[in-house]
């Protein structure tokens, strides 16, 4: 049996093939201070025992308690850090692959546009309300976020009251209002993100599908899990 060559291109090794995207890096808690403290206390204890220094009973008890407390604290911090990393990995694996959301099928009608914007405004409203709760009362940022929450909630109510069968006038009005609302959305995200950066990062990963499909675009393929361990 004769096997045919996969390609006749002499430079087939230099072909520009698509490469899989790497997973989002998972950053855990810095463990060096805790481990170093436990190590120093253990070294101090071993040094006293090896040199045969006689310590009072109270000093010995304090030294043993300090060693146990330091080791326990280091172990709890390691456990908490590992749990946080595992939760971040699970959330990343549950996120839909960006490749499945790149190629939308264009506008899918006014009904699909309204449904997509309903989901998107609900996600943005969640972000703004969380950021407003983290902002200091009476500050300019809090006032701006409060106004954005009211505006987004009113838009969500307008979209919820819209039916699938829209007239030309209603459809044009909804498109215009949503376009004006989206024009200021990037700046609002920049204002809300520093309020709770870790929460914003997780929200952005959860809302990737709502963001990509907010205009009613249809997916070419079913959503898949991008990363598996």
User: In the predicted model, is pLDDT for residue 105 greater than 50?
Assistant: no
Give the tens place of pLDDT for each residue, 30-75.
Answer: 667 777 777 777 787 777 767 766 667 677 777 778 778 877 877 8
Q: Which range (86-95, 125-134, 205-214) has the least confidence? A: 86-95
Q: Quick one: which of 126, 125, 113 has its CA closest to 174?
A: 113
- This prediction has a pTM of 0.51
* Residue 40 contacts residue 47 (beta carbons within 8 Å): no
Q: Where are the domains of the chain?
A: 32-94, 104-212
- Is the pLDDT at 220 greater than 80? The verdict is no
Which residues does 144 contact at the CB level (< 8 Å), separation at least 6?
191
Q: What angle do CA 55, 57, 60 make, to 5 degrees?
A: 65
pLDDT of 13 over the 70 cut = no
Tell me the range of 42-46, 92-96, 199-203 where mean pLDDT is highest.
199-203
Task: Grade residue 86 by pLDDT with cuts at 50, 70 and 90.
Answer: confident
Which of 216, 214, 8, 212 lies closest to 100, judged by CA?
212
Q: Where are the alpha helices (DSSP H) in 95-167?
A: 99-102, 110-134, 140-161
Averaged pLDDT score across all residues of the chain: 75
């Amino acid at each position: 049996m004769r096997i045919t060559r996969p390609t006749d291109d002499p430079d087939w090794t230099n072909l520009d093939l698509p490469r899989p995207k790497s997973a989002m890096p998972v950053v855990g808690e810095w463990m060096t201070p805790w481990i170093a403290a436990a190590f120093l206390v253990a070294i101090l204890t071993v040094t006293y025992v090896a040199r045969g220094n006689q310590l009072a009973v109270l000093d010995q008890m304090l030294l043993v308690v300090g060693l146990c407390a330091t080791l326990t604290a280091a172990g709890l911090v390691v456990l908490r850090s590992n749990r946080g990393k595992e939760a971040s990995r699970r959330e990343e694996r549950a996120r839909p692959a960006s490749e499945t959301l790149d190629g939308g099928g264009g506008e899918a009608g006014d009904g699909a546009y309204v449904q997509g914007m309903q989901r998107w405004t609900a996600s943005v409203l969640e972000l703004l309300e969380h950021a407003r709760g983290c902002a200091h009362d009476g500050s300019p940022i809090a006032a701006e976020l409060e106004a954005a929450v009211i505006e987004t909630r009113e838009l969500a109510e307008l979209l919820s009251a819209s039916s699938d069968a829209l007239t030309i006038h209603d459809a044009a009005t909804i498109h215009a209002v949503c376009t004006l609302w989206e024009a200021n959305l990037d700046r609002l995200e920049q204002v809300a993100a520093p309020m709770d950066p870790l929460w914003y990062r997780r929200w952005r990963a959860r809302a990737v599908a709502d963001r990509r499909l907010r205009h009613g675009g249809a997916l070419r393929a079913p959503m898949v899990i991008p990363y598996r361990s």
